[in-house]
A and B are shown apart, each in its own frame.
Chain A
């Protein structure tokens, strides 16, 4: 999935930056499907992603582990009461995890990157979240309809 996410930059629409699909899938798998990927899996997947992209080793695992940690412990039972709240809670969790990783990158490189790709990355991820959510709802509705 991470590789697919990166390869999206071949498409003209995602030239500036690619959406963070893995964060959406991770969040939805914990919240909706109660599938909890292990910490070790996330750590290893993140490391492989960093090796493929050539980013600083450890950046993606931090992001994924933070995302899981926040989804599990802070917002899972307290904030998400309705499905409408999912988008808000995802936005908070994603922005918080992303800001920490961004801050870490700025500290490591000692320079601030251009903001337009970052805003595009955040924006397109937040736009994609409800779309993926709706399509999952639609599929589950169709399967229920077929079963009944």
Chain B
């Protein structure tokens, strides 16, 4: 008669060995994944495409509950929010009128200086499928892939600023690594002092400022934008604001609330033109603003123009 205990022990031991083998296999997978092999990248892309609808469907209930929480929260402060928005509209109207006069001035100056025109970027906007949170990875899956011309390395933006860049592309989905991820490094400059630096994610809510000159004196609340160094990101995209920690170190707080990301735009650069075409005959000035367009705001002499020129 054979008792059940030794056979149980044997199976337990063999299961433990198998467990150990699988852990070793996972370790080798981690290292292989880090090598960024094309085959692994393609498999990841294919599986992301395959799992995207399931993930979206499974995320939907929690997303809806989060929406309810948000609604309840905002309903309590509707009156205050209304007053705040009204004052903000007034402020924005003043800024808008100043901006339109400055824009006109800027166009004239650009024309005088024969400034190289900016490349027009083609943008596609897609919906975020997954939640961005994670301890070890801060990425988002979007529902646009190779079929929309998305490629690895293209910058991802939202109306508030830089979101990240594309790291993996499938046929119908793409993965975007967020700027808060530990593997993300963005060349930036401090807008007040023009000092260049690099910001690195820390898998938290703040970005570490690296390679900033010792002469630079960041100001708390100073805006930080992409510098365009390296050619990966266009210059002038908002990244965030400088904040000072208790220890006296400076960090950058991203201008985007990554938890509320619903739509993400990808700069696909489809119609990017070569800098110097074959028939290059000097820098073409920017087009003058059409005379029919009414410039609401202040003119150069400071007089306010409200009605169109034709009227």
Contacts and interface: CB of A to CB of B under 8 A. Distances in A.
Interface of A: 3-4, 6-12, 14-18, 39-40, 42-43, 46-48, 51-59, 61-62, 65-66, 68-69, 72-73, 101, 104-105, 108-109, 111, 113-118, 121
A114 B202 contact: yes
B32 interface: yes
B182 A113 contact: yes
Interface residues of B, number: 57
Interface stretch (B40-48, B93-101, B108-116, B265-273): B40-48
B90 interface: no
Contact of A109 (B28, B70, B135, B182): B182
Interface in B10-49: 12, 15-16, 18-20, 22-23, 25-30, 32-34, 40, 44, 47-48
Given A109-B183, A117-B204, A3 B58 contact: yes
Given A6-B131, A9-B133, A57-B33, A68 B19 contact: yes
B16 A117 contact: no
Interface of B: 12, 15-16, 18-20, 22-23, 25-30, 32-34, 40, 44, 47-48, 51, 54-55, 58-59, 61-63, 65-66, 69-70, 73, 130-137, 139, 141, 167-168, 175, 177, 182-183, 200, 202-206, 259
Contacts of A53: 130, 134, 136-137, 139
Given A12-B66, A58-B26, 15 more contacts: A3-B54, A8-B62, A11-B62, A11-B65, A18-B133, A51-B51, A52-B130, A52-B141, A53-B137, A57-B29, A59-B26, A61-B23, A116-B204, A117-B204, A118-B135
Contact of B205 (A9, A16, A52): A16
Contacts of A61: 22-23, 26, 29
Given A39-B15, A109-B183, A111-B182, A9 B203 contact: no
Contacts, number: 161
Nearest to B57: A3
B204 A54 contact: no
Nearest to B30: A58
Contacts of A104: 27, 30
Nearest to B61: A7
A113 B139 CA distance: 15
9 contacts: A10-B131, A18-B133, A43-B26, A46-B26, A56-B33, A57-B29, A69-B20, A72-B12, A108-B34
Contacts of B27: 58, 62, 104
Nearest to A6: B131
A88 B161 CA distance: 45
Given A54-B141, A54-B167, A57-B32, A7 B69 contact: no
A51 B33 CA distance: 11
A55 B204 CA distance: 15
Contacts of A114: 202-206
Contact of A51 (B20, B30, B47, B73): B47
Instruction: Among B51, B54, B203, find the residue whose CB has the most chain A CB atoms closer than 10 A.
Output: B203
B256 to A, nearest CB: 13
